[in-house]
Amino acid sequence: MLDWASFGWISFGWISFETLAVLLSIAYLLFALKENSLCWYCAFFSSAIYAWILGDVNLYMESLLSVYYLVMAVYGWYQWRRGGESHQGIEISCWPLWQHGLAIAAVVVASLISGYLLAQHTDARLPYLDSFTTWGAVLTTVMVARKILENWLYWIVIDAASIYLYLDRELYQTVALFVLYVILAVVGYVIWRRHYLGQGQDAVTADAV
C-alpha cells in the first residue's frame, strides 16, 4: 500500500517526485522568459506534485498555493494564447505606482491575518513567512498571467524569502530551485523589459506608416 506520508520522496522510475517537480518548474520559468505558452503546461504538472509534497511537510499555505497554481495555469495559458482585444494573446504591460501600492498593502494585510490564524489553530511552520510568500505568489502569478512587467521584481523578493522557508523544511532540491529562480527572475525582468520597450517602438513605427 502506498505511504502518502512520504509522497515527496517516492521514486518515479529513476527520478523522485521532488526532482520531477523541480525540473518542471525550471522548464516553466525558461518558457516564461521566452513568453512561450508551454510554460503553463509545466506549471500545471509541477504544481500538482508540489501540492502533495508541501502538505506533507506542514507548509499548508504553500500547498494551497500549488492548488491555486493549477487553476492559474489554465487562466495564464488562455490569456497568452487567446487573450486581448484581438484574441491572439496579450502583450507585456506595466502597472502604475498606485496599483503597486494597493497590491503590496493587500499582501501584507492578508499575510498578517492568515499568519495569525495558522499560528493559533495549526501546527504550521513559520506561519507568517509561509503566508507572505503564499499571498505574494498569488498576486504575482496573476501579474504573470496578465504579462505585467514588474512581476519579475516581485518574484525576486518572494523567491528569496522562500529559500529560508524551504531550508527550514530540508527540501534542499527546492532550495536550489529557488536560488535559480532569483537569478532567472533578474534575467526575466531584463528580457521582458527589452520586449516591452520594443513593443512601444513597434507601435511608433506602425503609427508613422
Domain extents in the chain:
12-208
Mean pLDDT of the chain: 85
Q: Using CA atoms, how far apart are residues 168 and 58, in angstroms rounded to an integer?
A: 11
Residues 25, 178: Cα–Cα separation, whole Å: 10
Contact predicate 25/42, CB 8 Å = yes
Residues 6+ apart with CB under 8 A from 165: 59, 62, 126, 129, 130, 133
Per-residue DSSP letter, 88: S
Q: How far apart are CA 195 and CA 201, in angstroms?
A: 10
Quick check: 52 and 64 in contact, CB under 8 A?
Answer: no
Residue 208 has pLDDT above 80, yes or no: no
For 100, how many CA atoms within 13 A lie in the half-sphere containing its CB? 10
- The C-alpha torsion from 84 through 41 and 59 to 170, rounded to 10°, is -130
| Residue found under cell 501579474 | 143
Task: Please count the CA atoms within 13 angstroms of the CA of 189 that sit on its side-chain side.
Answer: 13
What is the rounded distance in angstroms from the CA atom of residue 33 to the CA atom of residue 77?
14
The more confidently predicted of residues 207 and 151 is 151
Helices of type H across the chain: 17-33, 39-56, 60-82, 97-121, 127-145, 151-168, 172-208
Q: Whats the size of the chain, residue-wise?
A: 209
176 phi and psi angles, rounded to 5 deg: -60, -40
Per-residue pLDDT for 4 more than 80?
no
Residues 6+ apart with CB under 8 A from 18: 8, 9, 49, 53, 171, 173, 174
Q: What is the pLDDT of residue 62?
A: 74
More confident call, 166 vs 108 = 108
pLDDT band at 207 (very low <50, low <70, confident <90, very high): very low
Q: What is the pLDDT of residues 68-107, one digit of tens each?
A: 988 999 999 999 998 878 888 899 999 999 999 999 999 9
Mean pLDDT of 126-145: 92
For residue 62, give the nearest of 142, 146, 172, 174 by alpha carbon.
174
User: Would the pLDDT of 183 be above 90?
Assistant: yes
Is residue 126 a contact partner of residue 165, using CB atoms and an 8 Å limit?
yes
109 vs 12, more confident: 109
